[in-house]
Structure 1
């Protein structure tokens, strides 16, 4: 096997091995296997490995070691010592993407706020089904800390309200993708604020929000000139009027995809007119 290190295998941070316990690491790598194929465990080597690990530079810990752990393991590491607590905070401060969806059943409001207050560089935040964590208070924290947010997904978060969304969009002006599907407390008031403040919005998902009406969608048609994809499936009150208003967005070369499944008040004739303008209309699934 070639001893050359592939480009993709190079460490994210280069460092001097002589100052980082490099010689000790080489010794550890020479652990011989016994006849059964098991690693021969030398107590002295185990102790040496612990010392080497503890003397790794902070940069290696933050950029090379911690990314190998999942979120829960990273949070547990905060309890090791003061240095590790500072390392975890530094790790969160450089994060650009955070997806808490896999832990939606565990994450609560105080957990989310504790994480978010250290994530100043965050651009992608996914909190779908994190209904216990996404509240007025946690949204306020997100709006204050994550000013560069570009993607925010919080579908099926029933505690999300118009006022919470207003705080978010008035402070995070770079939002390009917003998923509020099945957030049943959202109304036209939130859509009006999104239309007026999210000047770079490209994707907006509003399916199964039953309070959304023509009023809110008309505001999107009027102001959201960068909107490329809109999902209003099962927004039962929408009519032909607001759908035809959306055709105006095609004049700006923006709207490409529109999902209207379950919108029973929108006729097939209207869907056909939208398709004739070049908009891909999905009213089947």
Structure 2
């Protein structure tokens, strides 16, 4: 058997593998998968097993009886329910021992544009008959990293969140929680609402950016229509404009705020604060 991590070529999956290694899991007991193993060569050099697992193709021959599987949600919005079902079906056929899935905060009730595919996947997992753990990940602080370059160029953070609060944490904290669930007992059947300990607003984000840039950064909060017009005028594609405005509107309604302490309890420490995470960014990297 192995601990199998899907999407290990992506930011989150790679961090989960690193967390597993840090927790003392033998490299040979980890199977890191992705659409191509070319981006996993550094892990291979450290003894981690690798394999191709494409969400658009059956995963038969990759998974084995008794495996512990982390299904990291796919990145192609609009295709994920189907892609996740491919992996779930293969897991059932292989007889894996358990599946943990990276879902979305409050997925069953959330009005976030991303929620429906996560809800469908959770339902498919429950219908699979396999032991399941749901990791409902909140917002990654790194989702705001591209805005640092914008703040440097314009002196402002643009949004239409109407002061909505965001209980974000860095990917590494969520990845560590996944590693805990994959390597310890007592998590089957659990649904964890994972969120940062200290929520923040875009005002707070602007302040953090100002500290990094050593200049004043303001938060420009506008209505949804104005936000949409400004993003379009900046040259963003229609689909991305719609997505960003929809997320901000849901944020205004509280979709990204949570009082849950599941994340800090799983990792055994407080989640990393916004200011600490932002201090590790640079405008050139965010551009």
If the length of structure 2 is used for normalisation, what is the TM-score? 0.28
Q: Quick one: higher RCO (CA 8 Å, sep 6+), 1 or 2?
A: 2
